[in-house]
Amino acid sequence: AFQNKLKKRIVENPEKELLNLVQRSTSLVEETVLDSIRSGGTGITYQKYNPRREHTASAQGEPPATDTGFLINSVTSTVKKDKGEVVGQIIASAPYAKFLEFGTSNILPRPFMQPALERNRPKIKRIFKEGGYVD
């Protein structure tokens, strides 16, 4: 048992393996972010114009409901080594993304980034445990 545990911890290229684990974890969270936006809202349904369409908004506390696809298309992820650490980032670059995530004095929050991370926290821990980086 000890030798099996030791073999699991000895990796031929640990930096490459760590980059792989962070990439897998980052991709998992990014896909959850995108799925939450795609899932649609349960709020008010109304007509929009230019182009004419019906839109169902998200309710308070729900992830934002996609309308034009701009927010979804602004979500990107990167994994890089920075000052000896491997960092995975997911960024929503739409100018209004932070207002949706945290709310404003006029708009209640529609969080979609932090809940995606929290939902995947057990899976991420499992990925790193299976990779031999945590017990």
Beta partners for residue 82, in sequence order? 85
Structure confidence by residue, pLDDT tens digits, 31-50: 999 999 999 889 999 999 98
pTM: 0.86
What is the per-residue DSSP string for 27-42?
A: HHHHHHHHHHHHT---
Write down the pLDDT at residue 132. Answer: 77
For residues 29 and 90, the answer to whether their CB atoms sit within 8 Å is: yes
